[in-house]
Structures are given as C-alpha cells and as structure tokens.
Amino acid sequence: MAVKRQLIMTSGVKQKHPEYEERAPQWVRMRDAIAGQDVVKSKGKDYLPELNANEDKDAYQTYLDNADYFNATGLTFEAFTGMIFRKSPQIGDLTVEKVLEHQLLSNVDLEGRSAYEFTRDIVNEVNAVGRVGVLYDIPTAETTEMTISEKEQSGIRPYAKMYHAEAIINWKFQNINGINKPVMVNLRESVEQEDTDIFSHDTVYQYRVLRIMNGAYIQQIYNHDEVLVDTIIDIRDNGVPFTHIPFVCINSSHLGLSTKKPPLLDLADTNFSHYRASASLGANIFMFSRITPLFKVPHQYWKEFIDHPKEFGVTKSIVIPTSKDGGDSDAAFLEPKSDFTPIVNHMDRLETRMGAQGARMLSGGKAGVEAAATVRLDMSGELSILSAIADTISRGLGEIFSLLMGKPTEVNLNSDFTAAPMDAGLISSLLMALQAQRISEDQFVDALIRGDAIKSENNIITDTEFTPSPPTAEALGVPAADGELKGREDNVKKKEPLSGPNGLENTD
C-alpha cells in the first residue's frame, strides 16, 4: 500500500555519507581508467596537466593529441571478469537450462535480465569500483484479492534491483540489542522527467530512503526538490512485515555498507602515470623528430634566395646562388639530437609495475608444506584477492536469491583461476603423489577437475598399489646390455601378478 504525502519538505535527503565523499573521486578515476582513451582524453587537464601555466590552447591540444593511453586497467578488468565466468555460476542445485526457464531467475530484475546476466553485472561493478548494492523489492499494489497466478501475470512478484556505488549516497546504523544494524539507506535513482515528449531523454534524480521505523521496514520517496511524495509502508515477506532492510551491499572483500578502496585503484593510478609519461614522449618526438632545413646564404643574395622556390626530397634539388669567387654559401639539415631513453625507461618501469599490480590480484599465500603439484594448482590461491571477490559476491547474491526463491539458495562463482588445463607432466606428478599417499583419491580427482583435465561428472578409478615401471632402454633409444635384456625376459616369462584394490592384475 502506498500513501501519497505531497509538499512535505525535508532537509538533508541529498546529504552524502563521509565515506561516500572520500570514495567518490576514486570511483570516478576507476570508471575513467577502464573506459579507455576517449574518456581519459576528454577529461583533459584532470589527467594530463599542461606543461606551462601560460600555455595556449593550441599548444595544449597538440600535447594532448600526442599522448597515448595504454588501457592496462581495462584489459585487467576484463580478464578478471572473464576468469570468474570461466565456469557458469552455480545457483542452488539448478542446471543452466533450469535457471533460464525459471520464472523468477529468467527475469531477476523485471527488466529482462536473467540470473546469469544480473550476476555478471554485479561482478563487473565489484571488479570496477569495489562496491554494488542489491535491493530485494516487491511492486506495490492492492493485491489482497489477487491469486498467485494473477499476481505473476501482472508482474507483481519479488525482484532484485542493482544500485551502482554512486547511487548509495548515505546510510546510518543503530545499536539494536547489542548489534549495530542499518536503520537508514538512501538510494539515489535517475528517473525520466515528467511532462517530456516521447523523444526526450531528460532525467532527474529522486531519492528512495529505506528505513526502519517502529521496528518495521518502510520506503520513502523524495523528488529532486527534496519533497516527500510517497511512503511505502506495506512491504512484506510472505505476509510478514520485514524487520530489517532487505538491501545487500557487496564490496570486494565484505558484505556491508562500509566502503573500501577499489581493488584495481593502484593499477589505475599507475596507468595514469604511464599516460602522462607517454605524453612527454609524444611531445618530444613531435617536436624533435622532424628534420628542419638550415641554410647559410651571403647577405647580398638573401632576397634572391628567399624568393627562389625550394623543393625537398630525393628527386628534387635546390640551387643556391653564390658569389663569383665561390662565396660563403652552404646548406645542411638541422637535426636535433634528443635522447628519449630516460622517458622510455620510465615507461618500461611503469609497465612492469602495472603487470605486478595486476598479477597481485591472483597471488595468495598457502600455509603448510604441500606437494609441488598441489602448490602449482593453488598458485592462483583461494586466498587471493580475486578469489575473495568471487566468494563475497557469492554470499551476497545467495542472500538475495534466497529471498527471491523463498528458500535458502546458495550461489557459487568460480574461484579457481587455473589459467589453462594441466599438462601430462602435472597429471603424472599428481598420480605419483596419490600413489605415495601424500594426497587422497578425492583430492586427486578434485585436482583433475579444477585443472580442466576431466569433467566433474567423470568417475575415476585408481589403483594406488600400481607403481609404473621405469622407462626401458629401447624406449629411450639406448641399446640394452645383455644382462639387462635377459633380466627383462625373465620378468616376462614369470608374469607375476600384482593385485590392486580393484582386483586388477598389473605386470611390469
């Protein structure tokens, strides 16, 4: 039920949380860095200050035009999202087909996005700025007389709505029974301006304030003039009023309204330093790489020489007038010798740093001593930053999808980032570790699945008692000694069985 309350003025609905004010410039830098060269150059002096305070507009434009933005941040961002989606997210116990056929999960936000598309958008936001919000909501209408089928046909059903970091402008906590709980979240929404024609795209802000009042959850809508225009007080979960705000804020390492630095911010800032260095290199090349002709002409022939047309190139020639006795005429090329090595070396150092800052996302420690094969498998690390992002998003979406489905629903994103399927050598090392009982059979099979060596539904039967023979001399291409050959012949004649746990007989 929605109760209209016109012309109720307030103050402060546009006020932003101090943490928001601190992080907002970082979010701008991150979005610009990922967007690429066109956006970065359009910001002009924000990212490329002028060389001289009194530099004219044309000179600065030349300086800007010769700068090159190498988008390492965007490439890393896309790679990380791709790594998380190397395997499809697992939603509950549903297959991909069942998710896409499910009435709620096939259209999570009432805007046509499936659970997978919605999840990808969430991952993109967290990778980009380290923060995104998801609101569980139900369209408001007088639904008491409607059947479930009628509600579904009318679109009156639960849905999830995503809010970018910049839209979560304010929040407050209150200690309730010894626990700090959010009692207010202010979400800024962009809505189409009223009374515009069909072709217009003019928008204004409105503010959706989520509140806990008298122990119950309500929403209040304020327009851009800070006028309270709507109060939604009947928001229920299966007929029971909410006593908490059904809003999940997903950050790069935790769930909650407190903010944290974007995970790729250091890389983005180094990327901007590299951009400024490239501008210096481009300006130097532009200024000094062109050869300038230089002429020395006797003063008595100066006017004649100036008036004479001059042509340049291997098929052209220049005639220089001289005096009767040969005069002092001369011609040369003015070729400045500028050393760009320091700038190039600086750019190389920045590129190395950007590589390290991107790779750091995939690094993680591992306690204890493990087999070399296991260490290699865990090189990406469950404790890595990217893995933490995937796990945090999984937990956050699990809360939202559980509300949507009306039952506990786990969401699991890929957090194993083995870049390529394991090779035969690694499989052999794992098998030897299994035979030496350094890892269990379950660990062996799990490692093969994680390394894309087998599919998860494959059933592996192993014989841990089997010890493979060393390679023969013939296999190595070495002639065998008589005694060695005779020994192998004796082994073949005996054919002594070696029974494993599966009842299989193996021979050397």
pLDDT tens for residues 445-480? Answer: 777 776 666 666 555 555 545 455 555 555 445 555
User: Can you give the pLDDT at residue 359?
Assistant: 59
User: Can you give the pLDDT at residue 372?
Assistant: 43
User: Can you give the pLDDT at residue 479?
Assistant: 55
Q: Is the pLDDT of residue 134 over 60?
A: yes
Name the strand (E) or helix (H) holding 180.
Answer: strand 179-192
DSSP structural state of residue 420: S
Name the strand (E) or helix (H) holding 7.
Answer: strand 2-9
Torsion angle of C-alpha atoms 489, 494, 495, 499, degrees rounded to 10: -130
Of 418, 426, 342, nearest in space to 386 by CA: 418
State the Cα angle at 124 between 450 and 76, rounded to 5°: 70
State the Cα angle at 271 between 265 and 275, rounded to 5°: 145
When pLDDT is cut at 50, 70 and 90, the band that residue 297 belongs to is confident
Q: Is the pLDDT of residue 125 over 90?
A: yes
Mean pLDDT of the chain: 77
Give residue-wise pLDDT tens across range 350-405.
Answer: 887 777 777 556 554 444 434 444 444 444 433 478 888 999 999 999 999 999 99
Of 229, 209, 270, 310, nearest in space to 4 by CA: 229
Q: Is the pLDDT of residue 7 over 60?
A: no
C-alpha 379/C-alpha 350 separation (Å) is 25
User: Can you give the pLDDT at residue 458?
Assistant: 52
* Confidence (pTM): 0.71
User: Can you give the pLDDT at residue 91?
Assistant: 95
The two three-digit tokens of residue 378, written as one number: 């865990």
